[in-house]
Structure 1
Amino acid sequence: MKIGIYGQFYHENSETYIQTLIDALQKKDVEVFIEENFLEIINRNQDITKNFSKLATFTKLDASFDLFFSIGGDGTILKAVTFVRDLNIPIVGINTGRLGFLATIQKEEISESINLILNKKYTISERSLLTLNTAPNNNELGSLNFALNEIAVNRKNTTSMIKVETFVNDSYLTSYWSDGLIVSTPTGSTGYSLSCGGPIIEPSANSFVITPIAPHNLNARPLVIPDNSTINLKVSGRETSFLASMDSRIATLENETTLIIKKADFTIKLLQLNDDSFIKTLRKKLLWGEDKRN
């Protein structure tokens, strides 16, 4: 078995869990490869006692990898997606961050979880993605023009609202006067969209949600649409440009650019232990069902 490991090392005391993970994997009959920049960070950290410099590294994945471990929070998984792309390599999210809707394996349970994973006691949750193209074409988007969570447009260099003309399957929907607009996948429904009043959508649902950001027109509400829809957006405002984000990646686009948003032709596979589920994660992370009256 061939396993890749990636992290960003932003979380306090995460070096302890990195050490635990690598030690657990090295005891098994697996090949371990660490993303090159992450290994440099690990070897600079004095709290990690073992020198991992002899471990193989990678800067780019290929189809020979069986699993890809992401150490951090949900933001780290979103970055991990840019390595995996359409290779169908399952991502294992180890949560050393805070909330962790995507990174569901808890840092305190790494050793036990590794045993379960290597014994194939898990399921795969396939997650849809969005793609973004523009007319005219914008080279700033490059090949990473996809998002697991959401594609959003936001105002830039101004406190004034922007107008987002929105079309679904070439039919005019409305013009949102707002700080911006989010088009979210079911996976992203627990992220930026949720904080702006959007609904929570079960990950396997064949839906997207359009959520305005601080709309001026108070009758504007989030809208759930089928995920085979094509969404066209055209942004205008007092400034000559605006921001378009694909998860954590941001591009600057000129006003009157048309954004074409569709479902990607590939999915991302998230590994989920057999005793985990999206409903269980919701209850735990949102404290549903807990009596807080005491």
Structure 2
Amino acid sequence: MNGFAGAHESHDANADQHSQYDDHYSSTSDDDNDAVEVTFDPASPYRRKSSLIYSEANAPKIAGYKSKAAASQCLVHQFLEGYRNEKRKSTDLEHVGQMHEDVADEVGLDHFVEPKGTAASPQLNGTSRDLDSDASTETGQPDQESWRKSRLNLDHNEGLNSRLLTKKQLTDMAWGVRELSRRLGSIRLKFKVRSVFLLTKAYDRELIPKTRLVAKWLLSKARDVRYIVYVEESLKSNDEFDAPGLLQELGQEYCDSDVHAAKKSLENRLRFWNEKMCRKRPHTFDFVITLGGDGTVLYASWLFQRIVPPVLSFSLGSLGFLTKFEFSEYEEILSTAFREGVTVSLRLRFEGTVMRSQKKTNQLTQNEYVDEQGTHRKRDLIEELIGEEQDDERTHKPDGTYEILNEIVVDRGPNPTMSSTEIFGDDEHFTSVLADGVCVSTPTGSTAYNLAAGGSLCHPDNPVMLVTSICAHTLSFRPIILPDTIVLRIGVPYDARTGSWASFDGRERVELGPGDYVTVSASRFPFASVQPQGRRGEDWVKSISAKLGWNTRQRQKNDGYNQWNK
């Protein structure tokens, strides 16, 4: 990402003649192209099953390797890295000559572990030599050695799926994001904004003219910076947006200069985005502006599955829990944001991964197989996920990972009967559920499907997971709130009567067959939402009161205080 904390950049009137349109793909991508299967450490008390295997190739962190922040690095991780460096320096000074005991080492929480076998990646204090030592592979699988060596050649800025982190790593990651969010809430960040991403409902005739107004304002000669504006590709031929007419109107502002050069520059500065571009080159955009409602903000989160530029949302929808700015003041709001900086809130997102059950050797039916002794056995999801496993067993493999801002729902789909699901937390089986479905919500999504299903309202700053059943066939299943350091797994048992369906923020919908499950964990890529200055604490309470009528009733009549006469 090109945005960073620093001085505001200004350009002269001729700067538009030097705009360069770099349309090459970056080496950094959000696509998971290189799938790797690795081994898992059986000694880990929290991440120990073969079902937790890699769906993407990510590099280990090697001590002594230092690199500058990549242009494609997420805003959050740029700040986190700087915060860690400062904390590491202060910690080193405080602990010189002091001895301390780390309980995490005793229970194996500080080990980097993979599905089955010894930890494939080194500790943070390890060296490249440790990776090739014999001691690191004594209990590993045959494919572990080649996996480790191949990962040494990968980009060191790549990270892991949060579902594969150890308990301590997941806790440290979540705490770091929370601490950073708390600090960002009291300061302004001044970004060097050049490329602006406009997002709206391309089919809404009321919003398209407003999008055109914002694009024209950004591209105007009156701006100190020659912004590059990206609008949705479908607007290129939209009559309401009228891209050729917009360029012609803007060209009239350059009548006192080289008209031909000005026209060419304007054509280069008005560009069009598509979903592939957001997925492949998210760092291209410095700032995101949404025009719509909460659904438009959710779409922005869906487009930017990893790197999320700061998102400023204008309220042009029905509810507006995520849209904090009035469109009527867009010129003043944007001018202030670009000139004086913005306050950013980091909203927790979840990482959801679909895990597919793999057919066993000598499997006879959907849930029955013959073992090595010739005994007929039935497959058991609980046994496969938390029971004792075989060294050569590969029970599941990943089939798609999604970053979500609202909720992950596992429900019965079009099936006329209830769904049967099993819920796991870390290495523990929580419960079996007979219901229409289960909703796992972020604090941001607590006012959405979670609320409709009877779940709790939750302030978006809370680091929690909200688990709510949907029409459970029991009187005792109450909504529960779990910490964001847990890795949840929601699966369909092998003996279920029907399959289930998983949906991610109401967009992607995937069928789950018997034995399939979904992992849910806190994402390493929170959603950077721009907030109005000085209103962060009270804004959410006012929203639920105004939008949902929370605790609204007519006041009692008061005829004056009368002391009770005994």
TM-score using structure 2 length: 0.47
Contact 2:443 2:464 in 1 (8 A): yes
What pairs up with 1:90-239 in 2 under 5 angstroms?
Answer: 90-133=310-353, 134-135=355-356, 136-139=396-399, 141=400, 143=401, 145-236=402-493, 237-239=496-498
- Letter of the 1:268 counterpart: F
Within the candidate set 547, 555, 562, 1:285 is matched to: 547
Deviation at 1:207, TM superposition (A): 0.6
What is the match of residue 264 of structure 1?
523
Deviation of 1:123 (Å): 1.0
Q: Which amino acid is the alignment partner of residue 195 of structure 1?
A: A
Aligned-residue offset at 1:161: 0.7
How has the CA–CA distance of structure 1 residues 30 and 190 changed in structure 2, closer, same or farther, with 3 Å as cutoff?
A: farther
Is the 8 Å Cα contact of residues 116 and 273 (structure 1) preserved in structure 2?
Answer: no
2:176 aligned partner: none
CA-based RMSD of the aligned residues comes to 2.7
Gaps of 5+ in 1: none
Structure 2: 5+ residue runs without aligned partners? Answer: 1-192, 248-265, 357-395, 556-566
Runs of 4 or more above 4 Å deviation: 46-50, 288-293
SS at match of 1:251: strand
Higher strand share: 1
Alignment partner, residue 242 of structure 1: 500
Match of 1:58 among 260, 266, 273: 273
The one-character-per-residue Cα deviations of 1:142-164 (angstroms, maximum 9, x if unpaired) are x5x22111111011222211112
Structure 2 CA distance, aligned partners of 1:101 and 1:15?
Answer: 22
1:161-209, Cα deviation, whole Å (9 max, x unpaired): 1112111222222222111101111111111111111112111211111
Q: Percent of pairs identical after alignment?
A: 26
The letter of the residue matching 2:246 is N
Equivalent of residue 3 in structure 1, options 185, 196, 203: 196
Tell me which moved more, 258-267 or 20-29. 20-29
Determine which of 239, 250, 269 is the counterpart of 1:44.
Answer: 239
Q: After superposition, what is the alpha-carbon deviation per residue over 1:70-121, rounded to whole angstroms, capped at 9, x for unaligned? A: 2222222222123333324111122222112112223333223222322335
TM-score (norm 1): 0.87
Q: Distance in 1 between matches of 2:300 and 2:504?
A: 14
Give the length in aligned residue pairs. Answer: 289
For the structure 1 residues 288 and 38, does the alpha-carbon distance in structure 2 shift closer, same or farther, using more than 3 Å as the test? farther
Q: Check if 1:32 corresponds to 2:294.
A: no
The separation in 2 between residues aligned to 1:40 and 1:217, in whole angstroms, is: 53
Which amino acid in 1 is paired with 2:201?
Q
User: Which structure has the bigger radius of gyration?
Assistant: 2
Amino acid at match of 1:3: V
Structure-2 change in CA distance of 1:154 and 1:204 (3 Å): same
Distance 1:290 1:157 in 2: 37
Offset at residue 286 of structure 1 (A): 2.5
The one-letter code sitting in structure 1 at the alignment partner of 2:210 is Y
Aligned partners of 1:123 and 1:271 also within 8 Å: yes
Establish whether residue 18 from structure 1 lines up as the match of residue 211 from structure 2.
Answer: yes
Q: Which moved more, 1:3-12 or 1:179-188?
A: 3-12
Alignment match, 2:106 = none
For residues 224-246 of structure 1, give each alpha carbon's deviation from its aligned partner in whole angstroms, at most 9, with x where no partner exists: 0000001111225432x321111
For residue 254 of structure 1, the aligned residue among 513, 524, 527 is 513
